């Protein structure tokens, strides 16, 4: 079945350094790739997304890249800050039956060390 692999499962970086999280998806029909940040005690919050007709998207310190041929997409956080510490999830979207079905990765716990 469809799946999304996410690596690494944990990531520790020094404040100010960059962090990169990578995902690989299996279904070539996927065409929308959101990234969510989940802080302790909260639900996932969308931080950035990318569609299959775009190779890269940037929003301030956050960027996402997509390689459709290789079925890879990555989250890049530059100049990390302690408040970036959280669990990050990638997802690949399919569109059966009129709604959007997400397949999620297993999450990456990011720790930014002050």
The closest alpha carbon to 108, from 79, 76, 78, 70, belongs to 76
Q: Are 105 and 90 in contact (CB under 8 A)?
A: yes
Contacts (Cβ under 8 Å, ≥6 apart) of 46 = 34, 35, 36
Residue closer to other proteins (CB basis): 61 or 101: 101
111 binds other proteins (CB under 8 A): no
CA distance 82 to 29: 36
Out of 14, 40, 43, 69, the only residue in the binding site for other proteins (CB under 8 A) is: 43
Contacts with other proteins by CB under 8 A: the residue count is 26
Out of 34, 74, 86, 110, the only residue in the binding site for other proteins (CB under 8 A) is: 34
104 binds other proteins (CB under 8 A): yes
Residue closer to other proteins (CB basis): 78 or 94: 94
2 binds other proteins (CB under 8 A): no
Out of 60, 83, 98, 114, the only residue in the binding site for other proteins (CB under 8 A) is: 98
């Amino acid at each position: 079945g469809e799946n999304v692999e996410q690596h690494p499962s944990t990531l520790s970086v020094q404040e100010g350094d960059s962090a990169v999280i990578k995902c690989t998806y299996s279904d070539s029909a996927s065409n929308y790739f959101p990234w969510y940040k989940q802080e302790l005690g909260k639900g996932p919050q969308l931080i950035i997304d990318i569609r299959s007709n775009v190779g890269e998207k940037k929003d301030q310190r956050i960027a996402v890249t997509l390689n459709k041929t290789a079925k890879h997409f990555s989250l890049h956080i530059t100049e990390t800050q302690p408040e970036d510490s959280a669990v990050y999830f990638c997802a690949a979207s399919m569109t059966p039956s009129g709604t959007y079905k997400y397949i999620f990765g297993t999450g990456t716990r990011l720790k930014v060390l002050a």
